[in-house]
Amino acid sequence: MPYQALKLTRGEDGATQARLERIAEDELPEGEVLVDVAYSSLNYKDALAITGKSPVVRSFPMVPGIDFAGTVRRSADPRFKPGDAVLLNGWGLGETRWGGLAQAARVPADWLLRLPAGMDARQAMAIGTAGYTAMLCVMALERHNATPEGGPVLVTGANGGVGTVAIALLAGQGYAVTASTGRPQEADYLYSLGASGILDRAALSGPGKPLQKEAWAAAVDCVGSHTLANVLAGMRYGAPVAACGLAQGMDLPATVAPFILRGVTLIGVDSVYAPMGLREEAWRRLAGELPRGMLEANTRELGLSEIAAAAEPLLEGRIRGRIVVDVNR
């Protein structure tokens, strides 16, 4: 039975080409579990892969899509049986291994998670890798003693997939959240997620002083580069910063001053190879703590045939929140 998939190839000129193709089951990578994919999502990394603007894809041809949710069709591993609702994100999906922007995926059983109770496949991908990363960031801040009583929290890249979910999660726990964004026209939306203040990203995106006014008790940074450097410079004594993105750049033009003079902690958050225990906790908490109404307001649904055209606008910051992908339309 052939499956529809978005397949990336490299042309003779080295440019990445994306087109819908039919793939046979025997083309799928080896793995113990065959999954009928119901939904995937479009993430920043997927957009980089589809446009070829960053060397995300390690080998061609490639099916992009760093996450998916669906049901088990066939399993050679006793932990899973046909009909089980499952999800997968990370582990090199869409980079070194064919990913979720297809109607089927064959994967190692060790990578799969069961869908948490009370969550369906569409909800899981409305959350997706971005929402899961946001929860990992919140958990990282908690491990470094961040509390709602400690003071205001900053979230950069606030209109993106990670930023929007981070705001909702932190506000839901009682934090006073300031959202940094380059789209002031979206202020009402950010307030609806729970933000208590808006900061123009221009205040953070240029070169700044090594140490600045102590403003933030914790932060989630999705941007990197000068933005992260300025965030670090403006943290209160002993404050943690969870860094998970590079929307502005992967450089970090900072000094050691915030670390050695204020005891600031910079925590790297990786969603791709996070251990299974952290993954399970993150998804369990997302099922219980993220308001379902927020998902609907934060999510736009597209079909598989519409994804390639949405990659460029996502990279340019013209898409708010999350894109969930119905791979069967």
Q: Decide whether 3-115+293-326 matches 128-268 in CATH topology.
A: no
Contact 116, 286 (CB under 8 A): yes
Measure the CA–CA gap between 217 and 170, rounded to whole angstroms. Answer: 13
Q: Among 275, 166, 161, 290, which Cα is nearest to 219's?
A: 166
Each domain of the chain, given as residue ranges in start order, spans 3-115+293-326, 128-268
Q: SS3 for 141? A: helix
**pTM for the whole structure:** 0.92
- The model's pLDDT over 32-75, given as tens digits with 9 standing for 90+, comes to 999 999 999 999 899 999 999 988 998 999 999 999 999 999 99
| Interacting residues of 195 by C-beta distance below 8 A, sequence separation 6+ | 155, 158, 167, 171, 177, 178, 179
- The model's pLDDT over 80-129, given as tens digits with 9 standing for 90+, comes to 999 999 999 999 999 999 999 999 999 999 999 999 999 999 999 999 99
Superfamily of domain 128-268 in CATH is NAD(P)-binding Rossmann-like Domain (3.40.50.720)
pLDDT value of residue 55? 87
Going 22 to 26 to 27 to 32, the CA torsion angle's sign is positive
What DSSP designation does 194 have? T
Contact 148, 174 (CB under 8 A): yes
Which helix or strand (DSSP H or E) is residue 21 part of? strand 16-23
Q: SS3 for 87? A: strand
Q: Among 30, 20, 1, 127, which Cα is nearest to 69's?
A: 127
Contact 244, 220 (CB under 8 A): yes
- The model's pLDDT over 200-222, given as tens digits with 9 standing for 90+, comes to 999 999 999 999 999 999 999 99
List Cα–Cα distances, 103 to 85, 132, 329, in angstroms.
15, 22, 10
Measure the CA–CA gap between 273 and 50, rounded to whole angstroms. Answer: 22
| Interacting residues of 237 by C-beta distance below 8 A, sequence separation 6+ | 214, 262, 263, 264
CATH topology for the 3-115+293-326 domain: Quinone Oxidoreductase; Chain A, domain 1 (3.90.180)
